[in-house]
Structure 1
Amino acid sequence: MNEILEKLESRLADRTGVYVNAGVNADAYIDELANDVRRNECLPFEVSAEVMAPGLPGFEGGERIAGLCVARSDGRWLVYRSEDDQFYAFWGAEQGCLGAHGVFGSPLYCWSA
């Protein structure tokens, strides 16, 4: 297995930042979220996005941020940056026109945002 995908898998247990609606079975929701990431996992490839409001620490609005896409579905792109050992959420329909809107942290948090 690819080293970055192994890192992704090891961090799918991290629930940090994931919001679970009242009345929802949290364990079932988290399990389904992790399984959705696995279903949409891909071999890592480089992508970049424009930093947009509310912004990202260390980046200016309009700046480009790049990383390795590890999962994607319906305009959601889960991206890993080895430079800061962090996962990010990018959004957009086309790879050449993605936005990074300030969501970073655990892969489940990024995927659920």
Structure 2
Amino acid sequence: MLARTQHEKDGAEAKRLRKEAGAWLKQLRQSAGLSQHDLAQRLGLKYYTFISQIENGFGKVPSDTMGDWAQYLGVPAPDFARRLLSYYDPHLHRLLFEEDA
């Protein structure tokens, strides 16, 4: 039972972090003056709803497209990827980027 409880906590935390990532991405998109449809077109996506899903915390930016997202949102790619990693995999982010890890 303890393992399941920890798993549920981890799942709730992951969901919260995805929502935070989505809010950050939405803010970047809006600051870039792009609609969800505009960004989807630039990324070569068939459906703009994919952008909506990510911004609402129901998905993640695929790592193989992070460079394109960063370019269209006006953020240096390494900074963009590092920030998303802090949301999507905070344990790995800590190991890679925090001195006290």
Hey, which of these two has a bigger chunk of helix by percent? 2
More strand per residue: 1
- TM-score, structure 1 as length reference: 0.27
**TM-score, normalised relative to structure 2:** 0.29
Which structure has the larger Rg over C-alpha atoms? 2
